[in-house]
Amino acid sequence: MPDTQLFTGGKVFTADRRPWATAIAVQGDRVLYVGDDDTARRIAPNAAETELAGALVLPGFVDGHAHVVHTGEAAGHVDLWSAGDLQELQHRLMKAAADRTAPRIRAQGWQRSATGAPHREMLDEAVPDVPVYVLAHDLHSIWLNSAALAEIGVDDDTPSPPGGTIHRDEDGHATGLIDETAMEQLVWSTLDRFKTDDDIDRSLAAALRAYRESGITATTEMALDEADLASMRRASDADELTARIAAHVIVHRTGDRQRDLEQVNRVVELAAEEHSDRLRVIGIKIIADGTVDGCTAAVRQPYANGALPGPIWPLDELTPVIIAADAAGLQIAIHAIGDETADIAITAIERAVAANGPARRRHRIEHLEVVDPDDIARLAALGITASMQPVHCDPAIQENWRTMLGDERIDRGYPWPEMTEQGARLAFGSDSPTSPHAPLPNMFVAATRRSALNPELEPNLPGYAVPLADAVVHATRDTAWACGADDRYGRVAAGLFADFIVLDRDIFATDLDELLEAHVVRTVVGGETVFKRD
C-alpha cells in the first residue's frame, strides 16, 4: 500500500458537514484531505493517483446491529428464505439430507407464515433419521425434528427455563419448537460443543468476505461470545480482520442477581483487554423480550391469538444490571421489540442515570418495532440511540408480523422518522443473518418501504420511508456515533480512518430501484483496497 494515495475525479458523499467533494487524499491509514482535485494534488504531489471517473464514493457502511460469525455460518445452512410452503421446506431438507456430509442438518430463514404451526412430525416426514435444526428467520426460535430433540436431550418432561419455552401439543408432547432462553440454554449449548476453532474461523472469514464485497467496513456485533472473540483476535493478529468490530456481550438472565452481575464484571474485563482500532468490546447486550412473529415480544395489548407474554427480563431484575454496567462505563444495548419492553428498557436506563449521575453515555435500544410515541420522546430525552433495521419491515416477511398484531398497531410499525423528529439518534443495521447483510438493498427498503426480496409487493407504510441520503447517514455516520467511533470512522473526513467504498452507479441520481442492481466495485479499509470487483 502506498504511503500517500489520491482518489480524484469522483463524486464523494462524505456524510459530513460539507457533504460533497471530488477528491480524497489518504496518508497511511487515515484521510489527509477531502475536497477538490487540485487542492488534493497540491497537498500530496507525489502520491499514487486513482482516477474515479465520476464514480460515487460513500463512507464505508457501518452495520449498526449484526451477528458476525453467525452471518458467515449461515452461508453454509440450508436456505429457507424463499420456501413458500411446507412442501417446499420439506423438499429442501430432503435434498440436503441426500447431499449431506455433516452429521446433522441446519437450516435458516424459516417463516411461520409459510408452514403454519410447526411440529416435529412435519420434519420427521422429510428427514426421520438425521438431526434437523430449522432456525426461524428472526433467530429467536428453532424447530427440531425428533432426532434433534434426542440429540439435545429434550423430551416431554423437560421443563422450560425462565424466559423461554419448550412448546408442547395438546397431549403434552414436545412439538420441536423451542424459543428464547430455552433455545439458548438447550440448543445452542449443545451445538456449540460440536464447533471447532477452525469452524469458527471459517465462518468469520466467510462473513468478512461478504462484508468486503458489499461495502461493510465496520460492524456492531450484538451477541459476542468468547469463542467468537478468540477467532476475531486470531484474524486481527493475522491482519485479516478487514472490518472493524465493536462488540456487545450478552448478559443472560439467571434469576440470581450475583450471577447476573458477575457477567457484567466479565464484560468489564474484556472491554479493558480489547480496544484496538479493529476490535473493541464496548458493552453488554440484554435480550429483554422476543419477537412479534413468535408472539414473544412483550406488548401492552394482547396479540390476535390472545397471547400476552411478559418480558424476558422483569424490571426489578434488569435494573441492577443496567445500573452496574452504566457505572462501569459500558455501553448498554437492550433488545426491545414490544411496547411494554421498550418502556421497561427506558425506565431501567432512567434509573441508572439517576443512580450514577452525569456521564458520557451512548446507550441504545434495539429494534423498537412497536413503540408508544411517549416512549420515543423519553428515549430521545435520555440520548438513547434508536437502533433499527430497515430490512425487518420488508413486506415479503411481514405477513405473520401483521397477522399476529392484528389491530391498529400495524399502522405504526417501524416508525423511523418519528425517532429523528423527536430528536433521537437513528442507527440502521441489518441484524444479519436474521435478514440479508447487504447494505444497498437495506437502503432500498429504508427509502421506499418496499420489498428488496420481492419488489412487486405493496409498500409497507410508505409514509415512514426516509430520504436516501438520510438513510445512508443513518447507516454510516450515525451507526459509528452509536458505537462510540464517530471520531474514527463513519464519515469521509480528514483525520478519520480511510474507510470508504466506490459504487458502479450514482444511486442518488437514478431511480431507487437501481439500489437493487448496484454493486460495490472497491472497498477501502484503513487506506488499503481490500476488495476490487473485476
Q: What is the pLDDT of residues 311-357, one digit of tens each?
A: 999 999 999 999 999 999 999 999 999 999 999 999 999 999 999 99
State percent of the chain over pLDDT 90: 93
Count of structural domains within the chain: 3
410 and 458 share a domain? yes
In this structure, how many other beta carbons lie within 10 angstroms of the beta carbon of residue 411?
12
Q: What is the pLDDT of residues 17-40, one digit of tens each?
A: 999 999 999 999 999 999 999 999
511 and 473 share a domain? no
Residue 434 lies in a domain: yes
Residue 301 lies in a domain: yes
pLDDT at 46: 92
What distances in angstroms separate CA 437 from CA 65, 68, 74, 214, 355, one per listed residue?
10, 10, 11, 8, 38
Q: What is the pLDDT of residues 137-163, one digit of tens each?
A: 888 899 999 999 999 999 999 999 988
350 and 473 share a domain? yes
518 and 474 share a domain? no
User: Which of the 8 DSSP states describes residue 105?
Assistant: E
Distant-in-sequence, close-in-space partners of 439: CB < 8 Å, separation ≥ 6: 61, 63, 214, 215, 216, 430, 475
440 and 464 share a domain? yes
- The grid coordinates of residue 302 equal 394482547
What mean pLDDT is reported for the chain?
Answer: 96
Q: What is the pLDDT of residues 59-82, one digit of tens each?
A: 999 999 999 999 999 988 999 988
pTM (two decimals) = 0.95
Q: Which domain holds residue 522?
A: 4-59+498-532
Query: Of 180, 206, 228, at which residue does a domain stop?
Result: 180
Cα-Cα-Cα-Cα dihedral of 395, 400, 403, 409, to 10°? -60
In this structure, how many other beta carbons lie within 10 angstroms of the beta carbon of residue 408?
8
Q: What is the CATH number of the domain that holds 15?
A: 2.30.40.10
89 and 12 share a domain? no
Question: Are the C-beta atoms of residues 461 and 405 closer than 8 Å to each other?
Answer: no
**Band of pLDDT at residue 525, cut at 50, 70 and 90:** very high
pLDDT at 420: 98
Residue 460 lies in a domain: yes
144 and 269 share a domain? no
Question: Quick one: average pLDDT of 12-16?
Answer: 99
What distances in angstroms separate CA 460 from CA 269, 413, 422, 500, one per listed residue?
43, 9, 22, 31
Query: In which order are the strands placed within the sheet that holds 500-503?
Result: 20-21, 11-13, 56-59, 500-503, 520-525, 528-532
Question: Are the C-beta atoms of residues 109 and 81 closer than 8 Å to each other?
Answer: yes
Question: Are the C-beta atoms of residues 178 and 186 closer than 8 Å to each other?
Answer: yes
Q: What is the CATH number of the domain that holds 298?
A: 3.20.20.140
d(CA 24, CA 50): 10
Q: What is the pLDDT of residues 369-418, one digit of tens each?
A: 999 999 999 999 999 999 999 999 999 999 999 999 988 999 999 999 99
352 and 439 share a domain? yes
336 and 476 share a domain? yes
Q: How many residues does the chain have?
A: 534
Residue 212 lies in a domain: no
Residue 256 lies in a domain: no
Residue 69 lies in a domain: no
392 and 515 share a domain? no
Strand partners, 336: 367
Q: What is the pLDDT of residues 486-511, one digit of tens each?
A: 999 999 999 999 999 999 999 999 99
Tell the residue number behind the cell numbers 462473513, with chain if given.
207
478 and 333 share a domain? yes
**Band of pLDDT at residue 363, cut at 50, 70 and 90:** very high
Residue 255 lies in a domain: no
Residue 188, SS3 per DSSP: helix
Distant-in-sequence, close-in-space partners of 65: CB < 8 Å, separation ≥ 6: 220, 222, 366, 387, 389, 427, 429, 430, 431
Q: What is the pLDDT of residues 465-475, one digit of tens each?
A: 999 999 999 99
Residue 232 lies in a domain: no
Q: Is the pLDDT of residue 425 over 80?
A: yes
321 and 427 share a domain? yes
Q: What is the CATH number of the domain that holds 136?
A: 3.10.310.70
pLDDT at 102: 81
Q: Is the pLDDT of residue 1 over 60?
A: no
Q: Is the pLDDT of residue 270 over 60?
A: yes
